[in-house]
Amino acid sequence: MSFIRSSVWEIAPDELLTAVIPAHNRVEECLTLLRYLRSCGFAHPIVVADSSRSDRARTLQNSIGDLARYQYFGSRIGQYTKLSRLAQCVSSPYIVVLPDDDIAFPHAIEASLKYLQDHKDYVAAHGYSLRFGLERSDFDIYKVEHFIPTIGEEKPIQRYFHLMRRYQPHIWAVFRTSVYAKAMEEAAAMRGTVFQEYMFQIVSVLGGKVARLPTVYAMRGMAPSQADYSQADPFQWLIKDADSLFRHYATFRRGLINFFLHGTTKPNILAKICRYIRQVRMKEKHLAGEDRNIPLRQIVDLINASCLGREIHIGTINHAVQHALGDAIDAVKFPEPWQGWSEVGPRDLIRPSRRPDRQYVWRCAVLEAEPRDEIRITADEMMKVETQLEFYDLRGKTT
């Protein structure tokens, strides 16, 4: 298999929306998602952007059939580089990227697409993201993970602030393709998964508003992330290698300021020299407010700190120090999100399935999720979710 360069092919030039699944070594999960989407009547073209190791890539390619278009990128390409190159080839005006181990709901994707068509100042739209586990075939729906309201401020720097102060990613939303491609291109230039994600999020929200609709958009499963958490979670990165975290943050901040001033994380050197004094003074004054002498880099650091500061857990830091000094036996351990099945409580809701081997358990942490004025999952929405989940059947792991 060889890498297919983005300059020689186009994806879905006559379609409204293109769905992309960035597959990586999860063969059965990817095939399950494809079968599920088609069984739900998902009518848009789907591209599997695969970077699995060669044996799994062959299995996946041979199994897809007419469920999707398959493109192989080689096993060494990074996810953001892969998605950046792929996005440059998508000709449809809208794009949605679907993780191979999550469950996205077609009714919510369609609602998000319709919202973008009706609201030209929005660049992305999505809904709530829940967490689930599987006990045999039973769905344990136990947490509302992503729910912050629409980021709809008029000024780009205000949208950036509201993104970071209650940070939750919208990377899997339905996007305008041009905005997605630009944000992914800038993200791919960063180093470290967390700063790639942050750059994507920030560049996209600088481009326009992001809507959160009152729909269950997706559910995240039990599989651990394939990203190295020492560079995907800023706090785990701090515990493992603080010097590396700070150095990569400096690169991220420099790229972000460059984007504010030049529209790219790596501006042309000559243009930067010619425009530096004029643009820095004008834009910093405009962004910070004419009556405040606050440098742009200071505002960027403070806004980023509003996000990064919430990741800090002093007790965990103390334990890591004690372990390093020999005063604690065990190293720091970070738990996985799925803690396993627990008995159904009196405030949990069990809803039957048409399938004899399945039921849906909605935990009270979802039914009574806070803040109540931001999370509204109606009985009708639960019914839509369950109707589509009837088609989701993870048949087994591919080793």
User: Is pLDDT above 50 for 48?
Assistant: yes
* Digit-coded pLDDT (tens) for 111-125: 999 999 999 999 999
Look at residue 272 in the predicted model and tell me its pLDDT: 53
What percent of the chain clears pLDDT 90, i.e. is strictly above it? 75
CA dihedral 28, 33, 35, 37 (to 10 degrees): 180
Q: Which of 98, 153, 146 is nearest to 122 (CA)?
A: 153
User: Is pLDDT above 80 for 12?
Assistant: no
Q: Are strands 349-352 and 359-362 parallel, antiparallel or unpaired?
A: antiparallel
Contact 288, 161 (CB under 8 A): no
* Digit-coded pLDDT (tens) for 211-232: 999 999 999 987 666 666 667 8
Tokens of 304: 């980023």
Look at residue 394 in the predicted model and tell me its pLDDT: 78
Domains of the chain: 6-231 (3.90.550.10), 234-324 (no CATH)
Residue type, 356: P
pTM over cut 0.75? yes
Classify residue 78 by burial, with Cβ atoms within 10 Å: 0-12, 13-18, 19+: middle
Q: How many residues does the chain have?
A: 399
User: Is pLDDT above 90 for 176?
Assistant: yes
Look at residue 339 in the predicted model and tell me its pLDDT: 78
Distance of CA 69 to the CA centre of its chain: 22
Query: What mean pLDDT is predicted for residues 30-49?
Result: 96
User: Is pLDDT above 50 for 68?
Assistant: yes
Q: Give, as one character, the DSSP assignment of residue 309.
A: G
* Digit-coded pLDDT (tens) for 350-384: 999 999 989 999 999 999 999 999 999 999 999 99
Residue type, 179: V
Look at residue 166 in the predicted model and tell me its pLDDT: 96
Q: Which of 7, 20, 25 is nearest to 71 (CA)?
A: 20
pLDDT band at 6 (very low <50, low <70, confident <90, very high): very low
Query: What mean pLDDT is predicted for residues 20-45?
Result: 95
Query: What mean pLDDT is predicted for residues 65-93?
Result: 94
In angstroms, what CA-CA distances link 56 with 19, 30, 53? 21, 11, 6
Distance CA 300, CA 160 (A): 9
Q: Give, as one character, the DSSP assignment of residue 233.
A: S
Look at residue 8 in the predicted model and tell me its pLDDT: 42
Distance CA 70, CA 99 (A): 15
* Digit-coded pLDDT (tens) for 328-349: 888 888 777 777 888 999 999 9
Distance CA 231, CA 237 (A): 5
Helix axes 79-87, 177-188, angle to 10 degrees: 140
* Digit-coded pLDDT (tens) for 133-151: 988 889 999 999 999 999 9
Contact 235, 312 (CB under 8 A): yes
Distance CA 101, CA 131 (A): 12
Query: What mean pLDDT is predicted for residues 9-37?
Result: 91
* Digit-coded pLDDT (tens) for 266-308: 776 545 554 555 555 555 555 555 446 688 889 999 999 999 9
Look at residue 338 in the predicted model and tell me its pLDDT: 75
Contact 128, 375 (CB under 8 A): yes
Q: What are phi and psi of 43, to 5 degrees?
A: -100, 0
Contact 148, 155 (CB under 8 A): no
* Average confidence score pLDDT of the chain: 89
- The CB-side HSE value for 53 (13 A sphere, CA atoms) comes to 5
Contact 182, 95 (CB under 8 A): no
Q: Is the bond leading into 371 cis (omega within 30 degrees of zero)? A: yes
User: Is pLDDT above 50 for 398?
Assistant: no
Look at residue 350 in the predicted model and tell me its pLDDT: 96
Distance CA 105, CA 128 (A): 11
Contact 139, 148 (CB under 8 A): no
Distance CA 82, CA 185 (A): 10
Look at residue 342 in the predicted model and tell me its pLDDT: 87
In angstroms, what CA-CA distances link 18 with 15, 68, 217? 7, 11, 17
